[in-house]
Structure 1
Amino acid sequence: MDTPQPKQLSPRRRRALIFASLAVAVIVGTSLYYLHPIGILAPKATAQAASTTLFSKPDTLVSYNFESAQLGWALAVTETRLNQGPFWIFRTVDGAKHWQRQLVGQTSSLFLTLASFQFLDPTHGFVAVGNPISLYRTTDGGMHWLALGLPYADGYAVTFTDPLHGWFLAWPHLWSTSDGGNTWNQLPDPPVDSTPLFLEFDKWNNLVFRSRLEGWLGSNGAGQPHVYSSADGGHSWQRREVPLPSGAVASGTLRTGVQALPGAGVIASVNPSTSPNALFTSFDGGTSWSEVTPLPIGGGTGDLGFQDNLHWWEIYVGALYMSSDGGQTWNHISDELPSAVSSLHILDSQHAWAQMFFAEGSVLAFTADGGLHWTRANAPQPT
């Protein structure tokens, strides 16, 4: 990107911004809750055009969902009090050139609202807002939203794998739904050491379900790194030990996170207190693991995006690398991106989008040539 580079964030602020827009957090504080949807349940709702700029506002966190290079949604939240404030949902059909506002309101759990924002396809989406938490569901791409109940007054995570099957984690309890959130069934409590770290806004610390049966949880505990897998929709969990990073010693608390790879396989992140974190992949349900090769520069881990379970993209200090063998080898592609923390999402072999975080706010950028060049797009402006 050829425009002048914005001021870089401090490492602490970068981490807070990117993880806040991707992660799960416990609810703190209380407030009166109100919601003013635009045309909610109205048969002839008309979306409202939103103003745009290249930067989101510095005090606003934005989470994006794109189904294609043209169709996507944005959730913006502004913290006016501790973990609470107004939110806005927007939709674009022209690759973020223009945005239309679909839903506005207040929430007392900004980070849970950000983490729960999910579109499964062009029509079905979910978001958790309010105090007590309410689940809102759309079946028409966000034009109308239906308010549904949740079984507990606060929580860590809400996630769906399809329009019917979802899970709600309110530690230490877990519920599931098989009818799109109309009703919820309490499941046995997950393992004690699978609890998310309080205020650790980290995408590796999520409740993960790939299908209505296959689920994964990370862990926070002493001893050998491990994650948990479920083959029955969260009714039971099995411990799956993960190797220690090369040269690391199992001492103190180890945080081990997990993500599902597209199609098949999982990737785990092991974070020892005495050495850099390391990544491991498993394609046999966690029975065996292979360590991911660090990038050739600095040996660090950047932000990963997955085209499929073998073709990966990774941004590290403004440089883009790609792997075609599940992270065993890496090829340098470009240095087009600024040296900012980025959230990377792959649409196909040529199209991807990244969210970069600066002191001035976050920036949304797209590539249409496999990462060689990136173009900044408009960010919706809450009003």
Structure 2
Amino acid sequence: MNLISKRLCLLLAAMLLYPVASSAQAVSAMKLLTPTTGWVQSNLYHLYWTTDEGAHWKEITPPKSPQEFLTGVFFLDSSSGWAVLVHGDDQELAQFRVASTRDAGASWSVSPIRFPGKRMADDYAGGANVFFLDQLHGWIKVDRKSSSAFAIGDLLVSDDGGKTWKFPLGDSGEAGYLCFFSLNDGLLAGGVDSSELWATHDGSKTWQQLSLKAPTAIAPAEFPTFGRPQCGPGKTGFLPVTYSGPDSAKSALVLLSSDDAGRTWKPSVTLSQLDETSQGQMVSSAVCGSSLIAATRSSGEVTLTVLSPASDMKRIVLNSFKEIPDLSFADLSHGWASTHSGLLATSDGGVSWTVITPAKTGPLP
């Protein structure tokens, strides 16, 4: 069974496990860019765009063959974006293409990624993480298949807006989330159970693994699961980390901050005494400025918590939610929450929510 067949089987299995209304599509990735504008990736094949807080959606899926699936979507702003298209060809070789847009998906330019040597489709797990610093300079981390003892990926860089890609001189070798402060300074959070943090300060010529001690106040929680790092503005960075401990120990969510492009880190806000988690399990959260917004679940109850360095903690019990796999907030008032059945939006900091899941525009390929 080739890569596409396997991914399709996983998709069908997920649809059976989490049935949704016939008029809506499951959300696999999303990002609220401004209070009114954002994108949603549905399943493996569709990309949608809204400019009115989800009241209306436009499909902006890049042109692709029925065999290709969509991964690694990234928008720099409300106009410029990129997406990775993946499929296995007749010889079951992995084929990757990068689609780029400068007009919010109204039109796309598509360019192939040319890997040296033959790469089998089954060598890759299908995932990709994309980050662009500006309209020219970008990075892609392509996940490769490996045993459970490893989480490896290939790093590629572009200096022409995604038209061409090359391997840098250095690579951490780990799969994970990327972000860059500048052409020289960047971070990668990933590895096995997302337990490793890497940094480069010479434009990807070399990468160094960082060893960060857990805050003593959350002991015995000490095993980190790193979330998606945020680089900028300037040398300011933030990193949400879920810390787990030994059996039956309470977990904690800590927002780490850096003011030197990721060279050093310190705790900014902490949410402790959470239900037990295992390493590799992240508490859903969103970084908004210097604030951390988290969705936690305890005794079947979901709570939205807002933590800011200079203000009191705010908690809202979300009675209508069973789980929230992902959060995205443009500011402390406007945010999205994905569930296994769709997408919801708030404009009052989580007090009230509206279903905004994009409607289907056609069958899966």
With structure 1 as the length reference, what TM-score do the two structures score? 0.67
Partner of 2:40: 74
Gaps of 5+ in 2: 6-19, 88-94, 143-151
Aligned-partner Cα distance in 1 for 2:355–2:192: 41
- From 139, 160, 163, the equivalent of 2:135 is 163
Structure 1 residues 220 and 297, CA gap change in structure 2 (3 angstroms): closer
8 Å Cα contact 2:268-2:309 kept in structure 1: no
Residues 109-168 of structure 1: CA deviation (Å, up to 9, x unaligned): 75xx33x11221121111111331100011111111111121326674332222211112
Q: Does 1:381 align with 2:360?
A: yes
Structure 1 residues 121 and 334, CA gap change in structure 2 (3 angstroms): same
8 Å Cα contact 2:74-2:130 kept in structure 1: no
Match of 2:161, SS state, is coil
- How many residue pairs are counted as aligned between the two chains? 302
8 Å Cα contact 2:238-2:287 kept in structure 1: no
Partner of 1:319: 303
Partner of 1:119: 75
8 Å Cα contact 1:138-1:144 kept in structure 2: yes
Partner of 1:294: 271
The root-mean-square deviation of aligned C-alpha atoms, in Å, is: 3.5
Aligned-partner Cα distance in 1 for 2:66–2:184: 31
Aligned-partner Cα distance in 1 for 2:29–2:160: 26
Aligned-partner Cα distance in 1 for 2:101–2:128: 21
Whichever residue aligns with residue 29 of structure 1, its letter is L
Partner of 2:58: 100
Equivalent pairs: percent with the same residue? 21
Deviation at 1:75, TM superposition (A): 2.2
Residues 26-61 of structure 1: CA deviation (Å, up to 9, x unaligned): xx6258xxxxxxxxxxxxxxxxxxxx979734xx44
**1:264-303 residue pairs with structure 2 within 5 A?**
264-267=236-239, 269=241, 274=246, 276=251, 279=254, 281-284=256-259, 285-290=262-267, 292-295=269-272, 298=275, 302-303=283-284
Higher RCO (C-alpha under 8 Å, 6+ residues apart): 1
Aligned-partner Cα distance in 2 for 1:273–1:53: 39
**1:1-383 residue pairs with structure 2 within 5 A?**
29=3, 56-57=24-25, 60-78=26-44, 87-103=45-61, 105-106=64-65, 110=69, 113-114=70-71, 116-131=72-87, 132-152=95-115, 156-170=128-142, 173-192=154-173, 195-196=174-175, 205-218=176-189, 220=191, 227-244=197-214, 246-247=219-220, 256=226, 259-260=229-230, 263=233, 264-267=236-239, 269=241, 274=246, 276=251, 279=254, 281-284=256-259, 285-290=262-267, 292-295=269-272, 298=275, 302-309=283-290, 311-317=291-297, 318-325=302-309, 330-335=313-318, 337-357=320-340, 362-383=341-362
Aligned-partner Cα distance in 2 for 1:293–1:334: 19
Match of 1:269, SS state, is strand
Structure 1 residues 188 and 270, CA gap change in structure 2 (3 angstroms): farther
Structure 1 residues 157 and 363, CA gap change in structure 2 (3 angstroms): closer
8 Å Cα contact 1:165-1:177 kept in structure 2: yes
